[in-house]
Amino acid sequence: MDASRRSLIGPAMAAGAGLAVFVSTSAIVTALNLKPNGTTSLLLHDTSGVWLFLALAWLVARCCDLFLRRLAIISRDGTPYPRLLTDLLRAVFFAIAAALILLVVFEQPATGLLTVSSVLIAVVGFALRNVISDLFSGIALGIDHPYRIGDWIETVQGSAGRVAEITWRTTRMTDRNGFTIVVPNGVIAGQRLINYTGGERDYRTALRVPLDPALSAARAKRILLSGALAAGRYIQGLSPDVLLTEFHDGATVYLVRFRVPDFGREAACRDDVATRVMDALHCAGQTIRSTALHAPEPVPWQSPREAVLMHVDLFRGFDAQERADLAAKMRPRELTAGQVVVRQGDPGNFLYVLAEGILDVEVVRDEGPPIRDRLAPGDVFGEVSLLTGQPRTATITAAFEALVYEIHREDLDPILRRRPDIVEGLATVMADHQALNARMSRTPEPVVCATRDDLLVRLRHLFGL
């Protein structure tokens, strides 16, 4: 027998004993030679009657608690029912027991009971009208179940948190900063309520991004979606999309919509998506446009090619003039959805810088399933093949329309010959990239990566330094 059933033994024994004494009161009075209307007989009758009905109320309340716990276990998420509901049921059962005690045990007329109750209700109701409003609102909330313990809800403006407890008068929540918010049930019942859990753990929110109207809608959507998908590399289930919503004060306003796995993580998700979207815009040479009436015009990047080079770690050792010289030599290449950029095993004569779009990466291994990843704006690929002569290590395909820039070996040769010290920085960045790729491979066997010194020797030999 489990603990929940053992909890019924005490109330059941008390109710059985009370019933036995109450029913056999006359026999007990006769056996003890007591006066039927004497003080002892009346006391025995009244005490056993009160005992019986209170024990029955106790037993029924315990059975109801057991029933609600069983329902919670088999419910969608196992969330226990609010304490308010169980307290309300106990109050109802004991109120019924009190009425039966007055009617059956003490044989009081029902009309008198109703009169006294009406007067008490009127007096107490006028004095405690706000408290009673919260109580009845709590009862309605307990019956309708618009939220449960553990749900993320928002009641009045600025009052959002995870429900920790539902009492007779208030609902206690814990916000995302760990503070406790206590909201009266009457306020919740009279205001708009948002349940962010709503039967599913994720929901959709959006970022509002105003851009220059001179930027085509197709390109703007590609840039914004690239940033949102880049955030999806680290947060599962975002499923982002981009919509053009309005034209406002000289700006074209887009919505970057994405799903949040849990309300408690919304701030972190918004931060990551906003950061990646901003990086994608900068890599494309774009910036967010102010919607203020007299806002100054945004200062454009000197060149979209230089803008994307500023986000590439491989060229962080280059000065502004060297980046400008390299940007002038880069060759743009527009990709269509599904187009293969490089194929695993092929020789590589140039590297690529991704400016716009998302690229899918697949590495086929001799054993085990392929390794898959994604590249986002600002990522560079093919540098190992270009700078060391090794074949391509992965097959890279455009997830949708994308823009990449090709950089050939002869484009880098004059810069590296003029400044051979840059080669050490290139070797360091390449070694870091290989170590990062090895950690992201998620393979149980260790992946052997070239060290910085090995890469430095190869680079110096390749460029004759």
What's the pLDDT tens digit per position in 432-447? 666 655 555 444 444 4
Higher pLDDT, 452 or 216: 216
Considering the chain, what percentage of its residues have pLDDT values greater than 90? 14
Residue 448 has pLDDT above 50, yes or no: no
Q: How far apart are CA 301 and CA 305, in angstroms?
A: 9
More confident: 8 or 450:
8
* Range with lowest mean pLDDT among 1-15, 67-81, 305-319, 376-390: 67-81
Protein fold of 203-283: Alpha-Beta Plaits (3.30.70)
- Asked, colleague to colleague, whether 143-195 and 316-462 share their fold, the answer is no
The Cα-based distances of 432 to 284, 301, 376, 449 in angstroms read 25, 29, 17, 10
The CATH classification number of 143-195 equals 2.30.30.60
Q: What is the pLDDT of residue 82?
A: 60
Q: 122 in helix, strand or coil?
A: helix
Which string of DSSP letters, residue by residue, matches 221-287? HHHHHHHHHHHTTTSTT---EEEEEEEETTEEEEEEEEEES-GGGHHHHHHHHHHHHHHHHHHTT--
Nearest residue to 146 via CA among 219, 235, 84, 237: 84
Considering only residues 251 and 32, tell me which one the structure prediction assigns the higher pLDDT. 251
Name 368's Cβ contacts closer than 8 Å, sequence gap at least 6. 443
Q: In what order do the strands lie in the sheet with 350-356?
A: 331-335, 402-408, 350-356, 380-381
pLDDT of the residue at 382? 80
The DSSP line for 297-364 is PPPPPS-HHHHHHTT-GGGTTS-HHHHHHHHHH-EEEEE-TT-EEE-TTS--SEEEEEEES-EEEEE-
Q: What are 142-201's pLDDT values in tens digits?
A: 777 788 888 888 887 778 888 888 887 888 899 888 889 988 888 888 888 888 875 556
Chain-centroid distance, C-alpha 140? 28
Q: Where are the domains of the chain?
A: 3-127, 143-195, 203-283, 316-462
Nearest to 301 by CA among 277, 330, 326, 327: 327
Is the confidence at residue 374, as pLDDT, over 60? Answer: yes
Residues 323, 366: contact at Cβ < 8 Å? no
Instruction: Please say whether the dihedral angle defined by the alpha carbons of residues 68, 70, 74 and 77, taken in this order, is positive or negative.
Output: positive
Q: In the structure, what pLDDT confidence band is assigned to residue 1 with cuts at 50, 70 and 90?
A: low
268-326, pLDDT tens digit by residue? 889 999 999 999 998 888 888 776 555 555 555 557 788 888 887 777 777 888 888 88
DSSP lists the bridge partners of residue 215 as none
Question: Measured at the alpha carbon of residue 89, what is the angle toward residues 83 and 91, in degrees to the nearest 5?
Answer: 100
Q: What is the pLDDT of residue 24?
A: 82
Name the more confident of 13 and 244.
244
Report pLDDT for 444: 44
* 316-462, CATH topology level: Jelly Rolls (2.60.120)
What's residue 293's pLDDT? 52
Higher pLDDT, 296 or 71: 71
Mean pLDDT of 223-251: 87
| Burial of 366 per CB tally in 10 Å (0-12, 13-18, 19+) | exposed
Q: Which residue type occupies 316?
A: R
Write down the pLDDT at residue 445: 47
Least confidently predicted of 122-126, 146-150, 259-263: 122-126
Per residue in 337-363, pLDDT tens? 999 998 888 887 788 889 999 999 888
Do the Cβ atoms of 81 and 70 come closer than 8 Å? no
Q: Across the chain, what does the average pLDDT equal? A: 78
